[in-house]
Structures are given as C-alpha cells and as structure tokens.
C-alpha cells in the first residue's frame, strides 16, 4: 500500500485480554472511512501472547507488529512505533480505547485545519468523562498536570490522555528525540512539540476509565515526578538542542 492517510499506533503491554475487542472496533471504524488506515502495534515485552493475538485480529489489514524483547515502558514503545509509522497522520491510542476510536475524526479535522499536533483533552470545555478514575488517581493526575505546567510546559490542560495525533513529520521529529521510556513521556512529547515549533491544539474528547490499569500509583507517581526533573535538567543542559542540531 502507498502511504496511508492514517497510521494508528497502539502501545501494548500484556493486553491479550482487552486488545481483541479494541482492534475489532478500530477495524470497523477504519472500514467505514473513505481513506486508508494502517496499524502499528508495539508489543513491549508482553508475556501473555499479545503479539499473536494482534496478528490474528489484524489478518487481512495493513499492519506491522513491532516487538521489544523485554518490557521497556510506554514511552520507549511509542518511540519505536511512532517513528516507524508511515501514514500522513499518526494517531496514538491506548489499547483499552478509553477514548472511543470515533473521536479520531475530531483530531483529523483539527489537522485538516492546519494543526501539526492534536491532543485529546478531558479538561477543556466540551470534554465528556463518562467513567471517572478513582478519587486518588484523579487527584494525582491533577498534581502531575500542575507540576508539568510549572516545570516543563505551560498552558496544557491534559498531558496524559492516551489519544493524540501528529502529522507524519511532527511524529518523527518529536518521537525520534524522546528520551523518557516511562510515563513522563507524555510531558516530554509536549515539551518537544513546543520546542520544535509544532503548534499544539487541544481537542475535547469523550473518555471512560477502564479500571484495569498497569499504573502502580505509588511507584509510577514517584517515577513520573523524577521524569519531569530529568526533562527539566536536559532542557537546562541543552540536551534537546544538541539532538536537534545533530540532524
Ligand atoms: N508499551 C508499553 N505500553 C504500556 C506499558 N504500560 C502500559 N502500557 C500501555 O499504555 C496504555 C495505557 O495503559 P493503562 O494500563 O490502561 O493505563 P491507564 O489508562 O493510564 O490506567 C495501554 O495501551 C497499555 O498497554 C508498558 O510498559 N509498555
Ligand atoms: Mg487505561
């Protein structure tokens, strides 16, 4: 297939239980569009047969399944998947489709209006959170957003929604420079987008929490906060500028 209009990248870690239904929903949505879609699945060292399941579900569809030999984290998986994607636009979505795939139309409309980076937001007017996270997780999320705004990048309402899309060149530009392997990657993506001059547009999306989560609140909150400090430190030291100049 020549370059598809849209590549859909799904980072997966032990997703055999819920990925099948999600891929079926995405395929059904894609079949109803008047443009070509291909899939990039990144199996990040799963031990539950995620890659085999993805191969079965995507038989007959344009797709690639990329595998990490060991678990490296969502940021690392997206660096692999987003820089391998060939579509004119590249959408990343969580495997649980907490944001339903039909919301992709809203993001694509923003691209057509000229935005290189479009992020789903649960916080801007018009967003619709139909099932909330636990009180504690939601409040930790607020603290993370505040810290990300203060330390790294102002004016973003929702860093961590797992539904974002990019023009192909913005995807390669940003994810090729990503250093964070773990959960702080979201903030680094937005930092890099700003730094590289790719305008970021927030689009309100609907979102329903799936309580089945790979996030460990204590470990991953501390890990993410340390990630923000690393990003700020690299920014101060000019690490990202050096990466850009090396092009
Ligand atoms: N590649 C990769 N993906 C991960 C990892 N941990 C979580 N994910 C993916 O990130 C997405 C969101 O994970 P989830 O557990 O639903 O987190 P939550 O929605 O933030 O509670 C899913 O697609 C997961 O498969 C990981 O270590 N590596
Ligand atoms: Mg989830």
| Predicted local distance difference test score (pLDDT) of residue 8 | 99
Helix 168-175 to helix 185-195 angle (10° resolution) is 120
- State how far the Cα of 233 lies from the Cα of 149, in Å rounded to an integer: 15
Region 49-67: mean pLDDT is: 98
Site of tokens 């609140």: 217
Helix (H) or strand (E) holding 18: helix 16-31
- Which ligand is in closest contact with the Cα of 133? 1
Task: Name the residue with the closest Cα to ligand 1, atom 24.
Answer: 12
- Which ligand is in closest contact with the Cα of 12? 1
- Pick from 8, 9, 10, 11 the residue to mutate for probing ligand 1's pocket: most ligand atoms within 8 Å of its CB: 11
CATH number (domain holding residue 187)? 3.90.550.10
Residues with beta carbon inside 6 Å of ligand 1?
11-13, 15, 42, 44, 71, 73-74, 77, 94-96, 98, 162, 210, 213-215
Q: What is the DSSP letter of 103?
A: G
Region 41-59: mean pLDDT is: 98
244, pLDDT greater than 70: no
1, pLDDT greater than 70: no
Judge whether 142 lies within some domain: yes
27, pLDDT greater than 80: yes
Arithmetic mean of pLDDT over the chain:
96
Judge whether 1 lies within some domain: no
Region 59-79: mean pLDDT is: 98
Region 1-20: mean pLDDT is: 94
Region 164-191: mean pLDDT is: 98
243, pLDDT greater than 90: no
pLDDT in tens, 127-167: 999 999 999 999 999 999 999 999 999 999 999 999 999 99
Judge whether 130 lies within some domain: yes
Ligand 2 centre distance from Cα of residue 155 (Å): 24
CB 33 within 8 A of CB 1: no
pLDDT in tens, 226-235: 999 999 999 9
Judge whether 76 lies within some domain: yes
Helix (H) or strand (E) holding 22: helix 16-31
Helix 50-57 to helix 16-31 angle (10° resolution) is 20
Task: Name the residue with the closest Cα to ligand 1, atom 27.
Answer: 73
Region 64-69: mean pLDDT is: 98
Range(s) of the domain holding residue 181: 6-245
CB 6 within 8 A of CB 37: yes
- State how far the Cα of 185 lies from the Cα of 175, in Å rounded to an integer: 9
pLDDT in tens, 77-124: 999 999 999 999 999 999 999 999 999 999 999 999 999 999 999 999
Which three-class secondary structure state does DSSP give residue 43? strand
Pairing, β 163-167 against β 117-121: antiparallel
- Which ranges in 97-238 belong to alpha helices (H)? 104-112, 135-151, 168-175, 185-195, 217-237
| Count of the separate structural domains present in the chain | 1
Site of tokens 């009180």: 135
Rounded to whole angstroms, what are the CA distances from 6 to 15, 69, 115, 136?
23, 27, 15, 36
Judge whether 213 lies within some domain: yes
């Amino acid at each position: 297939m020549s370059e598809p209009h849209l590549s859909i990248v799904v980072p997966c870690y032990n997703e055999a239980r819920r990925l099948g239904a999600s891929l079926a929903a995405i395929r059904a949505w894609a079949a109803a569009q008047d443009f070509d879609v291909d899939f990039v699945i990144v199996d990040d060292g799963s031990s539950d047969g995620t890659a085999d399941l993805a191969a079965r579900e995507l038989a007959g569809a344009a797709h690639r399944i990329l595998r990490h030999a060991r678990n490296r984290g969502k940021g690392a998986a997206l660096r692999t998947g987003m820089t391998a994607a060939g579509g004119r636009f590249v959408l990343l979505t969580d495997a649980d489709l907490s944001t339903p795939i039909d919301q992709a139309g809203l993001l694509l409309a923003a691209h057509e209006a000229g935005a290189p980076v479009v992020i789903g937001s649960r916080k801007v007017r018009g967003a619709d959170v139909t099932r909330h996270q636990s009180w504690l997780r939601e409040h930790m999320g607020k603290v993370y957003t505040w810290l990300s705004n203060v330390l790294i990048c102002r004016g973003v309402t929702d860093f961590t929604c797992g539904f974002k899309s990019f023009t192909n060149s913005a995807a390669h530009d940003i994810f090729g420079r990503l250093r964070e392997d773990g959960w702080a990657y979201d903030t680094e993506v937005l930092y890099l987008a700003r730094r590289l001059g790719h305008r970021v547009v927030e689009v309100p999306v609907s979102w329903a929490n799936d309580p089945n989560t790979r996030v460990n609140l204590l470990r991953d909150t501390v890990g993410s906060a340390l990630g923000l400090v690393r990003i700020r430190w690299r920014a101060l030291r000019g690490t990202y500028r050096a990466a850009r100049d090396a092009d």
